[in-house]
Amino acid sequence: MAKRRKKRDLVGTFAERFREALRSHEILLGGESVLLAVSGGVDSMLLLAAIDRIAPALNLTVAVAHFDHRLRAESGEDAEFVREQAHARQMKSYIGSADIKEIAREGGGSIEEVARRERYAFLERLARRHTFDVVMTGHTASDNAETLLINLMRGSGVTGLAGIPPTRRLGDSAILARPLLGFSADEVREIAERTALEWREDPSNGSAEFTRNRVRNELLPMMEGLHQGIVGTLNRTARLMLDVDRYLSNIVDAAVEGVRGTTSKGGDRVTLDVAMLRHLHAALRGEVLQRILSESFVLPPLPGGTIDRVLRLLWKETGARAPILGRIEALRDRDTLVLVRRPIVVRQVDRNFTPGEEIEVGNLVLTSEIIDGRPAFATDQQIEFVDAGDFSNQLVVRSWRDGDAFRPLGMKKGEKKVSDFLIDEKVPLDRKSEVLVITDADRIIWVCGMRIDERFRVKRTSKKILKLELRDG
């Protein structure tokens, strides 16, 4: 009898605290569409069971998402387990996957960082595509304590010490919520065991290969021996730092607006005003940079050493660089600090083609076409018309090289080095390596997207005209 009463008390207390977490953070008001991130582990399975239980009363539409990182041979079994659990509850399931090791190998970054990025990108895509109002994960107080310690060791600043926020934006429209943050991992496991919940154990959680596992399995138990209830203490610290972070947020927002310059269409390049960054208070500079990097490249709080390394570029010469994470780096370019994600493969192009042919050049498509009659000249810089009267039958598209020279359209005598032309055109330092040229033997016909050679311009006497177009593939 006492055991049954203890079980009822434990489960009843959990249900009450869970509902209070939803109320206090205004996570669910009723009628929302909810996407649950479910790994199959005990935390996410308890979250699934708890939401399933309250869904009818709150008129919730609930679906399940699982992301397979392919880090273990049996990871496909986890995906099938989650699919079955969703089906048993009459919930729709979405299964995504990626080869995390291969992505990390190609693009740089640790397996943990890449896995997190790909997982959240998957959840954001689902939320946007299927218009979910709320996305929930099963993070616990123990996860939060681990995150705070990891960020403390990395010197990640105020935002990092705030740990895992209970709610935040995910993309443009969805809220990302963590309603289990008030429960320790031990509490979650005990509740799951007492309610006969099914879940799968991830054997990689015991591996010392990952930093988080070492913090969970070695550091936190040692700290518990020194200070009983350390998880609760660290969570109280995180809540305090979250309040500080929110207080500073408006100041940081205003500073970000003053510092941030242009952002490329694909979001892989952001420019910052060096003078404005220099004039910020030293305590604010790092927070502003953290915010911009987090928003622009979807990064977790970065180590203090990384932030300091980037900020030192403010007092360096043009051309100085600093690595940030994986393919992301910072570059000093005149009066700007450029944050850029480099292409997975640096494009070094050297390819023959025949006029009239369409070819792929990296992630671009080059179209060439002999036309009849006078062309309708375009203002589009990706299209050019040239006199093909004395071309050979083989042209070359390639990356420009040191020593390349041509006569830019409008220049009547002599030649100009391509390197000097790019400087005059104020091509950013980090973009110069991407510039392509089209040549006939050793003669440059077109510096792609910028200028043709004067000697190949279309004249009244031109009898053979070649249309060139270079587009994203």
Query: pLDDT tens across 306-325, in order?
Result: 999 999 999 999 989 999 98
**Is residue 8 scored above 70 in pLDDT?**
no
Band of pLDDT at residue 345, cut at 50, 70 and 90? very low
**Is residue 454 scored above 80 in pLDDT?**
yes
**Is residue 402 scored above 70 in pLDDT?**
yes
What helix, strand, coil percent values describe the chain, rounded to 5? 45, 25, 35
DSSP of 137-178: ----HHHHHHHHHHHHHHT-HHHHHT-S-SEEEETTTEEEE-
The whole-model pTM stands at 0.68
Eight-class DSSP state of 301: P
Q: How confident is the model over 408-420, as pLDDT tens digits?
A: 999 989 999 999 9
Average pLDDT for the chain: 89
pLDDT of the residue at 51: 95
Band of pLDDT at residue 262, cut at 50, 70 and 90? confident
Band of pLDDT at residue 473, cut at 50, 70 and 90? low
- How many helices and strands in the chain, by DSSP H and E? 15, 22
Band of pLDDT at residue 2, cut at 50, 70 and 90? very low
DSSP of 46-78: HHHHHHHHHHHHHT-EEEEEEEE---STTHHHH
Please calculate the CA angle 266-270-273 and round it to the nearest 5 degrees.
155
Percent of the chain with pLDDT over 70: 95
pLDDT of the residue at 53: 92
pLDDT of the residue at 9: 61
Band of pLDDT at residue 378, cut at 50, 70 and 90? low
7-11, 63-67, 109-113, 379-383: range with lowest mean pLDDT: 7-11
Q: How confident is the model over 11-65, as pLDDT tens digits?
A: 668 888 999 999 998 999 899 999 999 999 999 999 999 999 999 999 999 999 9
Find the mean pLDDT for residues 200-229.
90
Band of pLDDT at residue 210, cut at 50, 70 and 90? confident
Band of pLDDT at residue 104, cut at 50, 70 and 90? confident
